[in-house]
Chain A
Amino acid sequence: MLISFNWLKQHVSLPDSTTPEEVADKLKMSTVEVESVRHLGKELDQMVVGKVVSADKHPNADKLQICRVNIGVETVQIVCGGSNVAEGMLVAVALPGAQVRWHGQGEPIVLEQTAIRGQDSFGMICASDEIGLGEQFPKKEEKEILDLTALGLRPGTALAAALHQTDSILEIDNKSLSNRPDLLGHYGLAREVAVLFNREVLPYAEKTIVPGKELGLKVTVADPALCHRYMAVAVAGVTVAESPAWLRECLSAVGIRPINNLVDITNYVMLDIGQPTHAFDARRLQAAKKITLAAVLAAEAQTFTTLDGKERSLTADTLLITNGVAPLALAGIMGGTDSGIAPDTTTVVFESATFDAVAIRRTSTRLSLRTDSATRFEKSQDPLNAERALNKLVELTLQLCPGSKVASAVADVKHFRLAKQPIEVPIAFFVEKIGQELPLKTITTILERLGFTVKEKKKVLLIGVPSWRATRDVRIPEDIVEEVLRIYGYENIAPCLPRLLLAPPSPNALRNLERRVAEVLSLELGFTEVYNYSFVSEAQIKRLGGDPAEYLQLDNPISKEKPFLRRNLLPNLIENITTNLHRADSLKLFEIGKVFHADESGPRTREQSDELLPRQDTWLTLMYVRKKDASPFWEARRAAETICRRLGLAVSFYPGARTRSTRGNIPPVPPGYRLGSLCLVGYMSFIRNSPLAMVSKNEWGFSR
């Protein structure tokens, strides 16, 4: 998520001296991950407004023109490939030293004075996407350069100043927001920044809607579990037009392309307070001066075409917004193709709702439809925010469309209850959890600044959670401790090691065995350890005489060729041999790893369940190969003997069956030898005619 520093400052009174970096640093230490801070003006360094004095065809290139460009202090020659460049046009000129993205792609490169097809070029006349302004000035065709003629500026004006690019953009890692629905907009983040800088967040300026009577508005919610609140209101007399510059700049700064005033308003409100909303054209909801909006469950296998033109197949748990008859939108995720704002829309109906997080997530995951709206709803929105958003939508619409007015009552179907029950946290709990005593005053101040209410009663704090934190995030005393701790600062907690009972850990016999075997093999016998993937292909299985039907298979493999879970370590070790043998005359390698046998029982899927996972033993397989060695068996046998000797085990060898194994967990043994000791632990065999030998051991755990 992108956060505009200027936008943020509209909500919190930070001192002028506070830099975006300082804000980013404090956020990183106490709240969220800030991945980068971009200074928009800095990116337009060494760029000025230029006026094209003349544009003549390049003598050596059909699609290039040689322009004389007035850049204020002088007039320079620039070769330009723009399809629309013309005499008299005001253009964005990147001077040598400026950083541009070639054709709007890749990493920025530094411009140098150069010659193009034999003609000197002092800089570059830029397209909007080459200087990061693609959102603000979308291109209409591929080779179009940015036309600034409408701005009417003096040549030589710095581009950053000309385009009011004074903002800085904080990029926040979305993953670090997954438990903080309140931070998905500028106001929420401002609230947090205010606490971190000990300043005040400004009260959110909103006007309550004065209802109209012109239109009837009926809202129904079929399943309250999926829709906790549904609000709507109609505004008539709107004119769809381009948004004013301030709004377009706000959206462009955070990477949202301005579309038209009504759509831009809904996007603005979402970015401002984190609440997704939707704007419908009233004509699609209307029958005889009555507007209907219904949140209903889809029929199983019902189809619906979303705004992106894709037909979606729905399930019976999908919530749809309809006009009582036809579906208009996938609730909380995406609108339909023809119910949205059109150029000739005159009455708009705004929806501001709180949809159930789990349901939204289920539907959006199933349809692979990840929208800004869905990612916000699935984090559990504050139902009070729905009302604030609707207020703001209407206020902005009335402001941007002179002559428009609220045409209906405000519909509000409520199925939510705010968490009124305070969280009880004994004061002693803080020191127990933190390991350090914090003054009570510090604790209560931090919590109150974060919007919590705190009452003390017999050494217990009764803590009221603000609505914007109460939906999922803060529920138990541990959550409260975290709030205090992160604001107090992890760096202010003195580390100390716990005093624990002196007790020897119970040994892990398998791990000890793995280690000893690996050391004998690598340090004594010259074998090299490899780590392989656990996945194998059908061809690999069949080559060793196995049956893929015996193998467990991934539902969603990364490689379509290798969806099977290995039953032994051999297939990928053979691949290792193949990839290395052209560089060596001799190879010795081994792997220790888990194999998966669905036909044998392993651990339980949960404590009280009778369902068992597949058996997953740890196996060792080693391979030895030497060119022109007719009897690699002896080397492999020596390895087996040495390992057994080091483990204090007697070992003897006897010929095995000459039949090919049918069970995939026993490696193929033609013409084979079995290795036995106290009990049968493994097999050794030649593999086909290739000079390979190997030992595979199962159940090494008999070290008694």
Chain B
Amino acid sequence: MREELQKIKTEFLSQLQRLKNLAELEELEIRFFGRKAGTLTTLIKGLKDFSAGERQLLGQLVNDVKNALEQAFFEKRERLQQAQWAEALLREAVDVTQPALPLQSGGHLHPNTIIQKNLEDFFTSLGFMIFDGPELESDYYNFSSLNIPEEHPARDSQDTFYLKGHPGWLMRTHTSAGDVRAKQKYGAPLRVISTGKCFRNEATDVRHEHTFYQFQGVVVDEGISFAHLKGLLEAVVRHLYGPEAKLRLRPKYYPFVEPGVNGEVTCFLCQGKGCRVCKQTGWLEIFGAGLIHPHLLREGNIDTSKYQGFAFGLGLTRLVMLKYGIDDIRLLESGDFRFLEQF
């Protein structure tokens, strides 16, 4: 019995050392420890044939051998498992930097929509409502209500599309056309922006479009002053071009404001040093603005003794072109996917 035990031990350990994978290990386990015919199991089962004194001695011996073999077995299994995992890691390695699948083809918002949303969000955060006026307007709202009577030279600068068979109907030339409508509808105090499509009858080229987009804002309240207009325009400039951007105001005549100014910002391309885009001036013209002419307040049924206001407008299309470096205005309404897919 003792020899046999010693033989099992030697044989087990030598085979254990030679085997190379978990399958062989499992085979070895069955051969020695198998519940039915394992060599060691069989030996242990034979213990019952010995006398009680011998059984105690041999039992102790058998247990020691069994424990030793099991420990060797578990250690081997641990090593083999580690090796297998290491191998698997190596085999299944992934280069995470390698581009594998093409991008899902997504759609694109029009650049004008993107900038418009940006501005609308900024102004609604300041409590402005969004007003939509009609694109086909009356002469009254587009001109007369804005202190531009018929035969006024200011009409020169806004070549207008008129409607056949409908005298007094036109395609709005600016978003200011909605000004008096908004005042009539909501009264004072008022904080409103309107955005949209405008039309002017001029030949198209790289810089001119007969269809373009404007953005316009109006504040009517008590005690509104020029300093407030300047304050808000500065906030807009910082929103659009960062904290370093500067605002410059210069006089400009618009019949619907008094005083009227045009607002320029430091050219963000050259930081004011002068470049092709700003025509070497260092400034980009962005706004038209001013204190609302009392004529407009009266047309909007607003008490001019109590309320004042300011208005400002900016060329949304121009802003889009500056932002994205678009040098041909006609691309915006070309419907050309090569252009649209860049946004």
Contacts and interface: CB of A to CB of B under 8 A. Distances in A.
A523 B113 CA distance: 13
A614 to B, nearest CB: 6
A10 interface: no
A485 interface: yes
A55 B293 CA distance: 69
Contact of B261 (A358, A365, A490, A521): A490
B333 A556 contact: no
B154 A583 contact: no
B28 to A, nearest CB: 59
Given A518-B113, A530-B335, A580-B337, A361 B151 contact: yes
B107 A482 contact: no
Contact of B130 (A482, A508, A606): A508
A527 B250 contact: no
A654 interface: no
Interface in B107-140: 107-110, 112-113, 117, 120, 124, 127-132, 134-138, 140
Interface in B252-268: 252-253, 255, 258-261
Interface residues of B, number: 92
A496 to B, nearest CB: 5
A532 interface: yes
Interface string B245-289: 001111111010011110000000000000000000000000000
B231 A613 contact: no
B225 A433 contact: yes
B134 A500 contact: no
A478 B110 contact: no
A572 B219 contact: no
B157 interface: yes
A596 B136 contact: yes
Interface string A124-167: 00000000000000000000000000000000000000000000
Nearest to B106: A526
A533 B25 CA distance: 79
A255 interface: no
Interface stretch (B3-11, B35-43, B67-75, B160-168): B160-168
B226 A435 contact: yes
Interface in A473-501: 476, 478-479, 481-482, 485-486, 490-491, 493-498, 500-501
A493 B228 contact: no
B223 interface: yes
B279 to A, nearest CB: 10
Q: Determine which residue in B107, B169, B248, B249 has the highest number of CB atoms from chain A within 10 A of its CB, and name it.
A: B107
B191 interface: yes
A558 interface: yes
A22 to B, nearest CB: 15
A584 B337 contact: yes
A498 B228 contact: yes
B335 A532 contact: yes
B295 to A, nearest CB: 9
Contacts of B253: 176, 178-180
Contacts of B259: 478, 481-482, 485-486
Interface string B284-325: 000000010110000001000000100000000000000000
B153 A178 contact: yes
Nearest to A593: B197
Contacts of A583: 337-338
A529 B227 contact: no
Contacts of B138: 605-606, 611, 613
A534 B169 CA distance: 16
A643 B103 CA distance: 23
B177 to A, nearest CB: 11
Given A29-B250, A432-B223, A531-B332, A605 B337 contact: no
A554 B335 contact: no
Nearest to A436: B227
Contact of A498 (B164, B210, B231): B231
Contact of B335 (A519, A580, A606): A580
Given A491-B248, A614-B136, A498 B224 contact: yes
A606 B132 CA distance: 16
Contacts of A432: 223, 225, 308
B235 A497 contact: yes
Given A358-B151, A508-B129, A613-B136, A501 B189 contact: yes
Contact of A558 (B108, B162, B203): B203
Given A175-B157, A478-B291, A503-B127, A580 B227 contact: no
A524 to B, nearest CB: 8
Best-surrounded residue of A494, A497, A596 (most CB of chain B within 10 A): A497
Contacts of A530: 110, 335, 340
B254 to A, nearest CB: 9
Contact of B231 (A175, A497, A605, A606): A497
Contact of A508 (B105, B131, B252, B258): B131
A482 B251 contact: yes
Contact of B293 (A30, A435, A478, A573): A478
Contacts of A478: 258-259, 291, 293-294
A522 interface: yes
A532 B333 CA distance: 5
B226 A497 contact: no
Contacts of A605: 138, 140-141, 168-169
Contact of B227 (A481, A493, A593): A493
B163 A502 contact: no
Contacts of A476: 258, 294
Contact of B230 (A482, A493, A505, A584): A493
B249 A491 contact: yes
Given A435-B228, A531-B110, A498 B336 contact: no
Nearest to B167: A555
Contacts of A498: 219, 221, 223-225, 228, 231-232
B201 interface: yes
A556 B109 contact: no
A38 to B, nearest CB: 15
B231 A496 contact: yes
Q: Which of A478, A503, A579, A603 has the most CB of B within 10 A?
A: A478
26 contacts: A32-B251, A33-B250, A33-B252, A176-B252, A178-B153, A432-B223, A432-B225, A436-B225, A478-B259, A482-B258, A490-B248, A495-B233, A497-B231, A500-B189, A503-B127, A505-B129, A552-B136, A554-B161, A554-B171, A556-B162, A558-B204, A580-B335, A580-B337, A583-B338, A587-B337, A602-B136
A-B residue pairs, 9 tightest by C-beta: A435-B225, A435-B227, A482-B259, A576-B335, A522-B107, A605-B138, A505-B129, A495-B230, A490-B249
Interface of B: 104-110, 112-113, 117, 120, 124, 127-132, 134-138, 140-141, 145, 150-151, 153-154, 156-157, 161-166, 168-169, 171, 181, 184, 189, 191, 197, 199, 201-204, 210-211, 219, 221, 223-228, 230-235, 247-253, 255, 258-261, 291, 293-294, 301, 308, 332-333, 335-338, 340-341
